[in-house]
């Protein structure tokens, strides 16, 4: 018997992807200047980053990082439970809990790990996990990891979610949804999901990676905007690498949730704590995100400008009021060609293709930032109209 070779199979899968215009390519960015990036020796205006408030390069964050690194060193050196949990982490957790109006918060090294950790800790084998079809990959992976029965409802279809809950009325159940959908930019039907959970005895988990800093009073996120407190939505997860411009993630909610995660969330227990200096920089980001509302105002103006300009030019946009403004193309090869043409014109806008998005819905994922100028957006609109004509 000859055993198939794993790496040969991987290479064959890669060849299939290339055939279908689905191959991914790692690009190295040589320099960053505000929203501009230098790739392959060319300066491009970037519309790809999730740095929605323009904080990633902020001098105060850089200074806080450097100062804290001098005090704490670079690495935490250990897991949180084994001496890696520093004053900087505790202070950041308090600041995040206060901002989001939750009792407690717990840091994770990445959003991906936070979602795996929550789902694996709260769900037992055979429990029901009901999720939006367009949820982020790590929510799906977390449900698989937990051994839960995963049911995925058509995007934003709360009636379908209810039918899925009704299939197992006695099983412990979690309903999980992105707050803002990462590839479409629309906001989940949060009040309806909260009602559904209340009437069906399920717990609600919201991944607000793209809502925190952007939506709600002081940027406290999509749940704050919808007026849903900890009782209505007990599990809030959000990332620190998007609007806050740093890296990492947190889960916020009642003390019982956080205590349970400290015990049982394996991606929290068995991993090195985030560098304390990152926590210090993030605390500055939280303060700026809360206080400097002009960032959200400018961003909102750019979003309105982009949508109006796109409509005037006949571009197909998704129904999004957030900084994620996908321009729908359809075929993967066409989306790729459009991204390449935009790059030739001086813009970095990624083509997003299956399996990241459903088949036939390839798109240019334009993201806007408070660091963009109106003139950047105007130039992009003209280039999009030329390229997609």
Ligand X SMILES: *Cc1c(COP(=O)(O)O)cnc(C)c1O
What angle do helix axes 111-122 and 255-264 make, rounded to 10 degrees?
Answer: 100
Closer to ligand X by Cβ: residue 111 or 276 = 111
209 is a site residue for ligand X (CB under 6 A)? yes
Residue 179: left if φ>0, alpha if ψ -120 to 50, beta else—which one?
alpha
Which residue carries 């109209």 as its tokens? Answer: 385
Residue closest to 291 by CA, chosen among 208, 370, 219 = 219
332 is a site residue for ligand X (CB under 6 A)? no
372 is a site residue for ligand X (CB under 6 A)? no
52 is a site residue for ligand X (CB under 6 A)? no
282 is a site residue for ligand X (CB under 6 A)? no
Give the per-residue contact string, 218-257, with ligand X (x = CB under 6 A; - = no): ---------------------x-x-------x--------
Residue closest to 76 by CA, chosen among 251, 380, 279 = 279
Tokens of 60: 């105060």
215 is a site residue for ligand X (CB under 6 A)? no
Segment 104-133, which members bind ligand X (CB under 6 A)? 110-112, 115
Tokens of 153: 């409802």
Give the per-residue contact string, 151-180, with ligand X (x = CB under 6 A; - = no): ---------------------------x--
Closer to ligand X by Cβ: residue 113 or 388 = 113
Tokens of 173: 């159940």
Closer to ligand X by Cβ: residue 241 or 354 = 241
Residues 6+ apart with CB under 8 A from 12: none
45 is a site residue for ligand X (CB under 6 A)? no
Closer to ligand X by Cβ: residue 202 or 209 = 209
Tokens of 114: 């936070």
347 is a site residue for ligand X (CB under 6 A)? no
The residues pairing with 272 across neighbouring beta strands, listed in sequence order, are 79
Closer to ligand X by Cβ: residue 72 or 112 = 112
Which is it for strands 324-330 and 36-39: parallel, antiparallel or unpaired?
unpaired
CB-based closest residue to ligand X: 111
CA angle 217, 227, 197 (to 5 degrees): 145
What angle do helix axes 374-388 and 293-312 make, rounded to 10 degrees?
Answer: 30
Residue 268 annotated as binding? no
Which residue carries 């090195």 as its tokens? Answer: 272
Structure letter (DSSP) for residue 3? P
Closer to ligand X by Cβ: residue 47 or 112 = 112
Residue 182 annotated as binding? yes
Which residue carries 């390839």 as its tokens? Answer: 362
Give alpha helix (H) positions in 292-369: 293-312, 332-344
Closest distance of CB 314 from ligand X, Å: 29
136 is a site residue for ligand X (CB under 6 A)? yes
152, 210, 295, 365: which one binds ligand X (CB under 6 A): 210
Say if residue 260 is exposed, middle or buried (CB neighbours under 10 Å; 0-12, 13-18, 19+).
middle
Residue 67 annotated as binding? no
Give the per-residue contact string, 71-110, with ligand X (x = CB under 6 A; - = no): ---------------------------------------x
Residue 210 annotated as binding? yes
Q: What's the rounded Cα separation, in Å, for the pair 232 and 194?
A: 6
Contact status, residue 214 vs residue 303, Cβ threshold 8 Å: no
35, 177, 182, 332: which one binds ligand X (CB under 6 A): 182
Q: Which residues are annotated as a binding site for pyridoxal 5'-phosphate?
A: 111-112, 182, 210, 239
Q: Which residues are annotated as a binding site for substrate?
A: 24, 136, 356
Binding-site ranges for ligand X (CB under 6 A)? 110-112, 115, 136, 138, 178, 182, 207, 209-210, 239, 241, 249
């Amino acid at each position: 018997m000859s055993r198939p070779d794993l790496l040969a199979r991987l290479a064959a899968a890669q060849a299939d992807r290339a055939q279908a215009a689905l191959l991914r390519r790692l690009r190295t960015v040589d320099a960053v200047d505000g929203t501009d990036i230098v790739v392959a020796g060319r300066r491009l205006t970037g519309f790809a980053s999730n740095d929605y408030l323009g904080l990633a390069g902020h001098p105060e964050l850089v200074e806080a990082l450097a100062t804290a690194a001098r005090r704490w060193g670079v690495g935490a050196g250990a897991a949180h439970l084994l001496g890696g949990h520093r004053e900087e982490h505790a202070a950041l957790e308090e600041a995040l809990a206060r901002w989001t109006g939750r009792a407690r918060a717990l840091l994770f090294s990445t959003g991906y790990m936070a979602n795996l950790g929550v789902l694996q800790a709260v769900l037992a084998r055979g429990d029901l996990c009901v999720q939006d079809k367009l949820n982020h990959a790590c929510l799906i992976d977390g449900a698989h990891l937990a051994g839960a029965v995963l049911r995925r409802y058509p995007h934003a279809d709360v009636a379908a979610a209810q039918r899925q809950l009704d299939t197992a009325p006695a099983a412990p159940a979690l309903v999980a949804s992105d707050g803002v959908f990462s590839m479409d930019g629309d906001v989940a039907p949060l009040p309806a999901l909260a009602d559904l959970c209340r009437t069906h005895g399920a717990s609600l988990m919201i991944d607000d990676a793209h809502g925190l800093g952007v939506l709600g009073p002081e940027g406290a996120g999509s749940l704050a905007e919808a007026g849903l407190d900890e009782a209505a939505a007990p599990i809030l997860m959000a990332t620190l690498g998007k609007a806050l411009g740093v890296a990492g993630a947190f889960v916020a909610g009642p003390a019982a949730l956080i205590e349970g995660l400290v015990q049982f969330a394996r991606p929290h227990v068995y991993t090195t704590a985030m560098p304390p200096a990152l926590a210090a920089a993030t605390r500055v980001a939280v303060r700026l995100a809360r206080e400097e509302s002009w960032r959200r105002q400018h961003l909102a103006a750019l979003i309105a400008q982009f949508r109006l300009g796109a409509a005037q030019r006949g571009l197909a946009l998704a129904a999004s009021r957030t900084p994620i403004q996908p321009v729908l193309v359809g075929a993967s090869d066409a989306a790729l060609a459009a991204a390449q043409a935009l790059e030739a014109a001086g813009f970095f806008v990624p083509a997003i293709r299956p399996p990241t998005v459903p088949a036939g819905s390839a798109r240019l994922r334009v993201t806007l930032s408070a660091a963009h100028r109106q003139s950047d957006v105007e130039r992009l609109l003209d280039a999009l109209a030329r390229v997609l004509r």
